[in-house]
Amino acid sequence: MPDEDRLCKEVLIAHYDEFQGDQYCFDRLVRMQHYGLPTRLLDISGNPLVALFFARHCKPELMETKGEVIVFRLARDKVKYFDSDTVSCLANLSNLPHSQKSLIDLRLDAVQFNETDVARKLLHHIKSEKSYFEGRIKPDDLGSVVCVKAKRTNSRIKSQSGAFLLFGHEATLPEWGNDGIEVSRVTVGNKEHILAQLDAININATTVYPSIDQTTVHLRDQHLRPATE
């Protein structure tokens, strides 16, 4: 996190053309996450069968280890979309240097907070994507964790029914959840059997990771696996 803004800028410098179609800072974070850069996003799926696949798909030596599906429950009206103002506020935190983020005081009321220098700097970044945005950033929102539905701009997000948890300033999600997000867990075993069942309904490495390298690995593993009745 201390190098968040620097990492994002270095990626933009090296591959600027890749991000030309991204309207919002959140869109850029999604793309960076897709290519493996650590961000303030956590990948989740809206499809429980895809989640079950991830709980089962592993290296052969871990096949006997039990997996786990983590379920996040929240009210439908709490789900944000890529163009949400709250999402813009949280995502644009990534543009602030660590020295500026360390000055954020979420204990201030909204009026006091928006009069601070760091709030003005954050507002500058938000206005670069939303010129109409007024200087009324809510400190409570800035420290929250929100579930966001992103644009399905790449095949992986489409195939995985992808969404994201977006973490605000120094935000954490306890193991048991919080007031807005309920967390529960399902432990699952018998990985090979479940993977075979998922494969039968076309949920496998080829469809979850729709790239030629994953397809070839899946086909290879399929033909190496002993035939069963």
Give the model confidence (pLDDT) of 109-119 as tens digits: 999 999 999 99
- Tell me how far apart the alpha carbons of residues 70 and 98 are, in angstroms, rounded to a whole number: 31
What pLDDT does residue 224 have?
A: 66
The long-range contacts involving 19-26, CB below 8 angstroms and separated by at least 24 positions, are: 21/153, 23/129, 24/82, 24/83, 24/87, 24/88, 24/91, 24/129, 25/88, 25/91, 25/92, 25/94, 25/95, 25/125, 25/129, 26/82, 26/87, 26/88, 26/91, 26/148, 26/150, 26/166
Does residue 229 sit within a domain? no
The reply to whether 75 falls in a domain is yes
**What's the confidence (pLDDT) of residue 96?**
96
Domain count, the chain: 1
Residue 183 domain-assigned (yes or no)? yes
Is 10 inside any structural domain? yes
- pLDDT tens track for 145-181: 999 998 887 677 777 778 999 999 999 999 999 989 9
What pLDDT does residue 171 have? 95
Residue 39 pLDDT: 95
Separation CA 84–CA 25 (nearest Å): 11
Instruction: Assign 71 to helix, strand or coil.
Output: strand
For the chain, list residues with pLDDT below 50. Answer: 229
The answer for residues whose C-beta is within 8 angstroms of residue 200's C-beta and 6 or more apart is: none
For 85, the domain range is 4-224
Question: Which letter does DSSP use for residue 138 in this model?
Answer: -
